[in-house]
Amino acid sequence: MAITVGVIGTGAIGADHARRITQTLTGAEVIALTDVNLEQAETVKNTLKLNATVYADGHELIANSGVDAVLVTSWGATHEEYVLAAIKAGKYVFCEKPLATTAQGCQNIVDAEMAAGKRLVQVGFMRPYDSGYKMLKQAIDSGEIGTPLMIHAAHRNQSVGKNYNTPMAIHDTLIHELDVFRWLLDDEYVSTQVVFPRKTTFAHDQLADPQIVLLETKKGVRIDVEVFVNCQYGYDIQCAVVGEQGIANLPEPQAITMRKNAQLGNALLTDWKDRFIDSYDVELQDFFDGISANKLTGPSSWNGLAAAIASDACVTAQQSGQIEKINLPERPELYR
Amino acid sequence: MAITVGVIGTGAIGADHARRITQTLTGAEVIALTDVNLEQAETVKNTLKLNATVYADGHELIANSGVDAVLVTSWGATHEEYVLAAIKAGKYVFCEKPLATTAQGCQNIVDAEMAAGKRLVQVGFMRPYDSGYKMLKQAIDSGEIGTPLMIHAAHRNQSVGKNYNTPMAIHDTLIHELDVFRWLLDDEYVSTQVVFPRKTTFAHDQLADPQIVLLETKKGVRIDVEVFVNCQYGYDIQCAVVGEQGIANLPEPQAITMRKNAQLGNALLTDWKDRFIDSYDVELQDFFDGISANKLTGPSSWNGLAAAIASDACVTAQQSGQIEKINLPERPELYR
Amino acid sequence: MAITVGVIGTGAIGADHARRITQTLTGAEVIALTDVNLEQAETVKNTLKLNATVYADGHELIANSGVDAVLVTSWGATHEEYVLAAIKAGKYVFCEKPLATTAQGCQNIVDAEMAAGKRLVQVGFMRPYDSGYKMLKQAIDSGEIGTPLMIHAAHRNQSVGKNYNTPMAIHDTLIHELDVFRWLLDDEYVSTQVVFPRKTTFAHDQLADPQIVLLETKKGVRIDVEVFVNCQYGYDIQCAVVGEQGIANLPEPQAITMRKNAQLGNALLTDWKDRFIDSYDVELQDFFDGISANKLTGPSSWNGLAAAIASDACVTAQQSGQIEKINLPERPELYR
Amino acid sequence: MAITVGVIGTGAIGADHARRITQTLTGAEVIALTDVNLEQAETVKNTLKLNATVYADGHELIANSGVDAVLVTSWGATHEEYVLAAIKAGKYVFCEKPLATTAQGCQNIVDAEMAAGKRLVQVGFMRPYDSGYKMLKQAIDSGEIGTPLMIHAAHRNQSVGKNYNTPMAIHDTLIHELDVFRWLLDDEYVSTQVVFPRKTTFAHDQLADPQIVLLETKKGVRIDVEVFVNCQYGYDIQCAVVGEQGIANLPEPQAITMRKNAQLGNALLTDWKDRFIDSYDVELQDFFDGISANKLTGPSSWNGLAAAIASDACVTAQQSGQIEKINLPERPELYR
Ligand SMILES: [Mg+2]
Ligand SMILES: [Mg+2]
Ligand SMILES: [Mg+2]
Ligand SMILES: [Mg+2]
């Protein structure tokens, strides 16, 4: 019996997830769709030859008793509302980033889920599903490098558009690191500081680029992350974990080493979509496998809340130039 | 409508393919099983909770009208017989290596398939489905390194058992290279020579190890392959293609670079199963996708024949110490 | 005509420089020696078969009219006094780190040298003579990576003795980075901050280890340096310069890449002496070549002063936990 | 007392060695020069400000009693004559490649040296003085990779001039490998075979390029060397030694790893002069140190003979297409 899925929001990412479910993953089937642009929902339905109904809006879709699980891939500002509705309906829900646009919104979801008494929500943080990060996590957990003391990381994009401003370096870019470090280290943040190096001439007026974010965790791990979204040379994710007895590095993406034109080297990625493409398949399959096992284990609404609180503190730190506290509430039993 | 699959031979590889079809791939379902040991077929059926029938033998299984496609994963000596039966029944058949134990056997299959007038057979050569080899193929075909002139390659195993003898270095080990180079270069072999370096003290009496196989192609490409099956240090597949303007190397498997114990480096694989694990999924999915499209494009019975003829010549060269011709018949239209 | 050299202090480094001058370098000859332990000076004289006089102390040695140039390799606390005496005598002087034990001492030397009206002093900062740093400097100056915006660096030792305490991480270890970044960037520091990650269990009571030092330059470059002197795994110097258009990394020391024991990798150095061994030859040869050309171009007493002022600020920052200003006086014409 | 040196042949390499002796090395001084073009000898004398006499020819130079040691850097065809004269005069002589243009010429030199009863000749094979090859030799000798079984090597030039023909790939290019493998393995060749891959379109008519030379040693080691002198992409020397328990690779030249323009990599050398530049200093210093110790240990006239015999066999193999024997006489006691 395939899990029946309703997709709320059939833009780029929603359409892609629908394709994924239909053509690549096992055990799930898209039977319901909706979008603010209903024509687009129809187009996705037809393109993928889905045996699916197009609903007038997300609430109708969620209300339909034939829908087992919901994918929220609509505009970010609507996420909270649909996730809450799905929880209320007792349905599993996969929500793309951000879980909600405010920490309070995330808290509302956490509260609702706790009231429901079981995990129903998975957030679309895909890095824990990336084969490289999984190897890195395993290297840490194996004890091979000893207790982690520091992380040196970088998140670099070739360039960004004119609408991308300074806080977005946190909310849209660093957010992935904020989630993945907690997972790698099994730890929580306690403070953050942001420093601004000399600004690249390739950045627009509204954007201080690059930035260096300095995080401190409960266990005392110090993390520095360079966020550089106009680095020109490629899309590049770096993560080195320094332990008491050694250092482990996130693997580079697979590439052909070539000797050519007086150079020895390999091509770097330039498009972020190529970097984690495989992990989207794995994260969504894991969501469906979790439903089948009646136990979700992927990124939870608690992860969404923790990332939101840390993000907010980082943006405050951008503005204050000071070290800012990150106050995460006690983690409830449900999320341990 | 899922493609209904019958599996002939439920040993290690057959059971693994059955699991793959059931749990990982899309569009196919195992509904029939058989094995020389019927109890084992029952065990696989139960372990995977298959809604499947266990047949007395492969011919009964093939004869069943509910079976759309056949997997031949039985003992090598039985492959030819079952593949021919499947062709006769007009059914798609995926056959593990070897397609047949003799070149004549492969020719019989090619003849039968040509008589059938369409491709029905895919051989279990998985390397063209490996992400690294695909990148290498793409690098060659893009023209980035110019016309290929040479390949330097190595196939190394940590160690082999006492039953592994000198000809097996060709039939069981080099066979993968013999297939994959033809595909990489879009070329055919014309001669082979085998030289025996100083023998490692880690090899048994019946085995000359290492060996270097020198191949020449129609287009004049020269290939040297080191086959070293007791190399002690790991399972290691190397392939460097030297073109007129540059060199492209098969990527190393993904690994964590670590600094530890006065060493900078990464772990190597030691088990061949880990090296191409992902490509087994891809090859079999491609088989089913080919069936759905009514057009197989993976390794054909012609590939099986070409590898068999080249293998036989290499074994002759092992024994003669001479350069031996490799005579492949003209490739029929069906396989172009 | 060889330059005649007097060596003040014939301990490990002094004896090694005497050997270097005698056996490896060209154009100079050791003709005078002294040490607090005169027997040791005699031993060096005899071991190297020098045609040299052993003097009662450094001042007598400097006063001898036959001595063209002086090497100060005595105990750190005596450096200032001997360098000042050499300047007063109008003689070229090469002084090992530190130039003086206080910033004021360095300033006294700068003042004396300026009064002399010409550069007479070279300080023993050897990294600008390292082939790897020279390549890195060239990569920056070529413009290949665009304007430098950030440096990510690390200075790691396998372990340190019980007498090594927290400020020594600056004065004895970071001092090399403090000098070399100024040279790489052609820039001056304006502020520093030190953060302390979780302490490694391998560090003694008197030492906070690791530390991260954050430097800011006049041009706005932000530098983070991990100083980790009980890292266990080796002696490791890392330096990545992030520019507007690319990143350049300090090369790893030359090493044999090996495949062995299921590992692909190379040995790391464990002793700091091996890392910059060649650059000691080059720095000292450059000193003598400078004398021959009557124009010293190596690390100057101004460099010594700049490093001392920055070091003091870093130690203050260790204690205050605050961002501390680094106030370097205007650079005099003589040192531009 | 500096060793007094006479240089026969002041073309590019002779002038460079004269500069080296004068400006870089210790313990030797050029006091005599000659060249077929006497003006050029004068120019070198003046450029380097040598206190030297220009002689009418090499024999006069050798005869001068003030000359301790001779450098033969004249046209190859004259090497034998001058080396024999130097031996006759009882003088140490450093001779650039080739020691003689024929194996018989080398044998004549060996015979003369044996008659003299001591080693007087060093041949200009510089690779054993390269820091990378020294590390490789040490890795082999340490036993870390076990008994060597195979070498995979390559000698690639970006391009060659129109006068470079097929046998020169042996005499001028492979000659370096022929010497260095003997030294690495402490072994002698017994056979050779040459195969010609598809010819690159970048090679001229008189040149079959690339070539693969297959060597066999007494101990059974098998060596394959790709010689590719129009590889377009750079000057590249590769050498991987496969032992019973591991593989050791010749290090790549030191280089800056850069991330730029969607590429991760480093520059390759394009000019052979840059690859072994340092080893020229070391080889010549070793020659003078050997003279001082009255015991030469560098590449001997026996090495010159062995390389000549192997070269001749390789050229025969180029022409015959067969496996050709390499017959080296028993090595005399003097050269063990
Ligand atoms: Mg996602
Ligand atoms: Mg297979
Ligand atoms: Mg020094
Ligand atoms: Mg030479």
D32-54 per-position pLDDT tens digit:
999 999 999 999 999 999 999 99
Specify whether C119 is located in the same domain as C132. Answer: no
Q: Is residue A276 part of a domain?
A: no
Residue C292 located in a structural domain: no
User: Does A298 map to a domain?
Assistant: no
Minimum-distance CB partner of D267 among A263, A268, A270: A263
pLDDT of residue C1: 72
**Which of C252, C259, C270 shows the shortest C-beta gap to B262?**
C270
Whether residues D229 and D94 fall in one domain: no
Say which ligand is closest to the CA of D126: 4
State the distance from the centre of ligand 1 to the C-alpha of A225, rounded, in angstroms: 21
Give the ligand whose atoms come closest to the C-alpha of residue B123: 2
Task: Kindly write down the DSSP assignment for every residue of B101-133, as one continuous string.
Answer: SSHHHHHHHHHHHHHHTS--EEE---GGGSHHH
Complex confidence, ipTM:
0.96
The alpha carbon of residue C88 is apart from the nearest alpha carbon of chain D, in Å, by: 31
Determine, for residues A246 and C233 on separate chains, whether the beta-carbon distance falls below 8 Å.
yes
Bridge partners (DSSP) listed for residue D156: D228, D236
pLDDT value at residue A101: 93
Mean pLDDT, range C8-20, rounded to an integer = 97
| Mean pLDDT calculated for residue range D100-119 | 97
Preceding omega of D98 cis (within 30 degrees of 0): yes
Q: Which distant-in-sequence residues (6+ apart) come within 8 Å of A265 by Cβ?
A: A257, A258, D263, D264, D265, D266
Same domain, D40 and D99: yes
By C-alpha distance, which of D237, D17, D252 is closest to D127?
D237
How would you label B233-252 residue by residue, b for 16+ Cβ within 10 Å and e otherwise? Answer: bbbbbbbbbbbbbbbbbbbb
- Residue C293 covered by a domain: no
Answer whether residue B150 shows pLDDT above 80: yes
Are D179 and D328 members of one domain?
yes
- Residue D38: predicted pLDDT: 97
State how many domains chain C has. Answer: 2
Average pLDDT, chain D: 97
Last residue of a domain, which of A123, A139, A163? Answer: A123
pLDDT of residue C300: 98
CA A261 to chain centre: 39
* CB-based burial label for C53 (10 Å; 0-12, 13-18, 19+): middle
Residue B99: closest CA among B326, B305, B291, B279: B305
One domain, residues A85 and A10 = yes
Q: For B215-235, what is the mean pLDDT?
A: 98
CB contact under 8 A, D150 and B197: yes
- Omega before C329 cis (within 30°)? no
Q: Quick check: is A109 in a domain?
A: yes
Q: List the structure tokens of A45.
A: 């339905």
For residue D184, is pLDDT > 80? yes
Kindly report the number of other CB atoms within 10 A of residue A316's CB atom. 17
Q: What percent of chain A has pLDDT over 70?
A: 100
Residues of B in contact with A144 (CB under 8 A): 258, 260
End-to-end Cα, chain D, rounded Å: 30
Q: What is the mean pLDDT of residues C45-57?
A: 97
Q: In whole angstroms, give the CA distance from residue D166 to residue D209.
A: 8
User: B175-185 and B301-320 helices cross at what angle (nearest 10)?
Assistant: 120
Nearest to B5 by CA among B115, B78, B86, B80: B86
Identify which of C259, C260, C268 has the shortest CB distance to residue B264.
Answer: C268
A279 Cβ contact partners less than 8 Å away, ≥ 6 residues apart = A126, A127, A129, A130, A131
Among the bound ligands, the one closest to the CA of B122: 2
Q: Please indicate whether, in this complex, the C-beta atoms of D145 and C248 are within 8 angstroms of each other.
A: no
Chain A contact set for B251 (CB, 8 A): 254-257
Summarize the confidence of residues A277-301 as an average pLDDT.
Answer: 96
> Is the Cβ–Cβ distance between A33 and A4 less than 8 Å?
no
Which residues of C sit within 8 Å Cβ distance of D?
Answer: 23-26, 131-132, 135-136, 139, 144-145, 245-251, 254-261
Q: Determine what percent of chain D is predicted with pLDDT higher than 70.
A: 100
Mean pLDDT of C14-40: 96
Query: What's the confidence (pLDDT) of residue C186?
Result: 97
Mean pLDDT score of chain A: 97
* Residues having C-beta closer than 5 Å to ion ligand 1: A 124, 126
Kindly list the residues from chain D whose CB atom is less than 8 angstroms away from the CB atom of residue B149. 197-200, 210, 228
Amino acid code (one letter) for C23 = Q
Residue ending a domain, among A123, A155, A187, is: A123
CB-based contact D201 B247, cutoff 8 Å: no
C111 and C9 belong to one structural domain: yes
Task: Please state the φ and ψ torsions of residue C194, each to the nearest 5 degrees.
Answer: -125, 130
How many residues are recorded in chain D?
A: 336
Decide if C224 contacts C212 (C-beta within 8 A).
Answer: yes
Strands A69-72 vs A3-8: parallel, antiparallel or unpaired: parallel
Residue A279, domain member (yes or no) = no
CATH number for the domain spanning B84: value is 3.40.50.720
Nearest to C184 by CA among C139, C229, C225: C139
- Tell me if D296 is assigned to some domain: no
Report, as an integer, the average pLDDT of B69-73.
Answer: 98
Q: Which partners does chain D have (≥3 C-beta pairs < 8 Å)? A: A, B, C
Residue of chain C with shortest Cα separation from D248 = C258
Q: What is the mean pLDDT of residues D316-323?
A: 97
Mean pLDDT in residue range A164-172: 97
Which tokens go with C305? Answer: 């002063």
For chain B, state the CA radius of gyration: 20
By residue range, what is the domain housing residue D136?
Answer: 128-271+306-335
- Give the span between the Cα atoms of B117 and A186, in whole angstroms: 60
Among A123, A149, A178, where does a domain finish? Answer: A123
Model confidence pLDDT, tens digit, residues B255-293: 999 999 999 999 999 999 899 999 999 999 999 999 999
Residues C100 and C187 in one domain: no
- D160 and D105 share one domain: no
| Domain CATH for B222 | 3.30.360.10
Sorted by sequence, the CB contacts under 8 Å of residue D334 that are 6+ apart come out as: D113, D114, D117, D118, D119, D302
Q: Residue D1's pLDDT is what?
A: 73
Helix axes C277-292, C12-19, angle to 10 degrees: 60
Is residue C281 a part of any domain in this protein? no
pLDDT attached to residue B50:
97
Residue B209 has pLDDT above 90, yes or no: yes
Q: What burial class does residue D329 get, using C-beta atoms within 10 Å of its C-beta: 0-12 exposed, 13-18 middle, 19+ buried?
A: exposed
Give the whole-angstrom CA distance, residue C117 versus residue C130: 30
For the segment C280-335, what is each residue's pLDDT rounded down to a tens digit? Answer: 999 999 999 999 999 999 999 999 999 999 999 999 999 999 999 999 999 999 99
Mean pLDDT of the residues in chain B? 97
Give the separation between CA C246 and CA D285, rounded to whole angstroms.
Answer: 40
At A249 the pLDDT is: 98
Number of Cβ within a 10 Å radius of residue A53: 17
What's the average model confidence in pLDDT over D107-114? 98
Tell me the per-residue pLDDT of A72-128, one tens digit each, with 9 for 90 and over: 999 999 999 999 999 999 999 999 999 999 999 999 999 999 999 999 999 999 999
Cross-chain CB nearest to C245 (options A221, A222, A232):
A232
Confidence at residue A1, expressed as pLDDT on a 0 to 100 scale: 73
- Omega before B98 within 30 of 0, i.e. cis: yes
A187 CA from centroid of ligand 3 (Å): 43
Tell me whether residue A46 is exposed, middle or buried, using C-beta atoms within 10 angstroms of its C-beta: 0 to 12, 13 to 18, 19 or more: exposed
Burial C166-181 (b: 16+ CB within 10 A, else e): bbbbbbbbbbbbbbbb
Is A95 in the same domain as A137?
Answer: no
Identify whether residues C197 and C119 lie together within a single domain: no
Q: Are residues B112 and B162 in the same domain?
A: no
Interface test with C, best of A202, A217, A222 (most C CBs within 10 A): A222
Any bridge partners for residue A5, and if so which? A30, A69
Q: Determine which of B245, B258, B261, B286 to mutate to test the interface with A (most A C-beta atoms within 10 Å).
A: B258
Q: Are residues C59 and C104 in the same domain?
A: yes
Nearest Cβ partner of A254 from B132, B144, B258?
A: B132
